[in-house]
């Protein structure tokens, strides 16, 4: 990995002062050249984030840790002696916010945690919509354009994947999460500030996403690449396992509604676009089987259904 690469960290509070133009330029550059950036001073209360971290880790110890160990045993990888390429060293559950919440259907979650997750979800939803409008401004799109596209006829979908990556005895043999691009729209990640592991692929090198306390990591999904006609990119990323420490990850996905019609914005296409037009749910049905494969064949398959036969499903993922 190149040592002189500086990961983009953006102070969102500077949008309200004399450095607004420079801050907007930093966001635009990160979207074009990284597909990732890290926000500080984003407006989400730090005490809320601290409570989410504490309760997430408590929930894992109480309700998930034993299930994770049983899963490892059931798959025969509790004692690693070979490289494993079809399983992730990851314990997860999903909180759905929009269009309907499942917070009160999740077993063994405390009422305190449910309340905190509900508030946290609303804060992240607002931040996601603010960022989409900032992207519109940078792209020369009318304000609200991206939110309108995402809305479809029934509103966007929004959910949080709560993950823990427990210590792994042989991290060289298995990934915490295999390399992939995200299918959806805008991803907002609250990650552990003590245990690292998240990396993105930048110019052929795997680059660490720095674990900063109280930051929110932003990355772009495939839908924003299509809508921006490739000006903004979704980027391959992965999570490495670690021998010590339990890494927490709370990733919230602000995605288009299932019936949202996705296509390149007309004002961003100087010529016929290489990107397809499709209904978001159709893309997700394809993605669910080929998440850990390159995105370009997925785009081609949405343009030309016959190309889908060249894709070999290798993974099943949650869709929301």
Contact status, residue 94 vs residue 318, Cβ threshold 8 Å = yes
Contact status, residue 260 vs residue 187, Cβ threshold 8 Å = no
CATH topology of domain 9-277: Jelly Rolls (2.60.120)
Lowest-pLDDT range of 75-79, 104-108, 127-131, 289-293: 75-79
Looking at the chain, the whole-number percentage of residues with pLDDT higher than 90 is 82
The yes-or-no verdict on residue 314 having pLDDT over 60 is: no
Contact status, residue 235 vs residue 219, Cβ threshold 8 Å = yes
- For the beta sheet containing 198-202, the strands, ordered from the edge strand earlier in sequence to the opposite edge, are 177-180, 237-239, 198-202, 205-208
Q: What is the DSSP letter of 51?
A: H
The three-state secondary structure class of 295 is helix
pLDDT in tens, 228-238: 999 999 999 99
pLDDT in tens, 147-199: 999 999 999 999 999 999 999 999 999 999 999 999 999 999 999 999 889 99
Higher pLDDT, 227 or 320: 227
Instruction: Kindly state the tokens that stand for 216.
Output: 């929110």
Q: Looking at residue 308, what is its pLDDT?
A: 59
Contact status, residue 32 vs residue 233, Cβ threshold 8 Å = yes
Helix or strand run (H / E) with residue 272: none
**Reported pTM:** 0.92
Rounded-to-integer distance, Cα 242 and Cα 246, Å? 8
pLDDT in tens, 191-225: 999 988 999 999 999 999 999 999 999 999 999 99
Please state the three-class secondary structure of 48-78 as a single string. Answer: HHHHHHHHHHHHHHHHHHHHHHHHHHHCCCC
pLDDT in tens, 55-107: 999 999 999 999 999 988 888 887 888 898 888 999 999 999 999 999 999 98
Phi, psi (5° rounding) for residue 34? -125, -40
The yes-or-no verdict on residue 312 having pLDDT over 50 is: yes
Q: Where are the domains of the chain?
A: 9-277
* Four-point Cα dihedral 305, 234, 168, 161, nearest 10: -80
């Amino acid at each position: 990995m190149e040592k002189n690469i500086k990961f983009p960290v953006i102070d969102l509070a500077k949008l309200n002062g004399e450095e607004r133009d420079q801050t907007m330029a930093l966001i635009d550059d990160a979207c074009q050249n990284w597909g990732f950036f890290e926000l500080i001073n984003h407006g989400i209360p730090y005490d809320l984030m601290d409570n989410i971290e504490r309760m997430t880790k408590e929930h894992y110890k109480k309700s998930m840790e034993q299930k994770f160990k049983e899963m490892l045993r059931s798959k025969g990888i509790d004692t690693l002696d070979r490289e494993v390429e079809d399983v992730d060293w990851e314990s997860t559950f999903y909180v759905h916010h929009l269009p309907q919440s499942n917070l009160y259907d999740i077993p063994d979650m405390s009422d305190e945690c449910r309340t905190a997750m509900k508030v946290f979800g609303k804060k992240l939803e607002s931040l996601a919509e603010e960022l989409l409008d900032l992207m519109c401004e940078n792209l020369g799109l009318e304000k609200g354009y991206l939110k309108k596209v995402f809305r479809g006829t029934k509103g966007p979908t929004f959910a949080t994947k709560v993950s823990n990556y427990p210590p792994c005895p042989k991290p060289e043999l298995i990934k915490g999460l295999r390399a992939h691009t995200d299918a959806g729209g805008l991803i907002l990640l609250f990650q552990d500030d003590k245990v690292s592991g998240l990396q993105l692929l930048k110019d052929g090198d795997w680059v660490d996403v720095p674990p900063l306390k109280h930051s929110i990591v932003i990355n772009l999904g495939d839908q924003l690449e299509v809508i921006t006609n490739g000006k903004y990119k979704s980027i391959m990323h992965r999570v490495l396992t670690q021998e010590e420490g339990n890494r927490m990850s709370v990733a919230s996905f602000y995605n288009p509604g299932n019936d949202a019609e996705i296509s390149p914005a007309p004002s961003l296409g100087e010529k016929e676009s290489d990107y397809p037009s499709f209904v978001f749910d159709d893309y997700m049905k394809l993605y669910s089987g080929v998440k850990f494969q390159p995105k370009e064949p997925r785009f081609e398959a949405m343009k030309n259904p016959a190309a889908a036969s060249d894709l070999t499903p290798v993974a099943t993922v949650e869709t929301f």
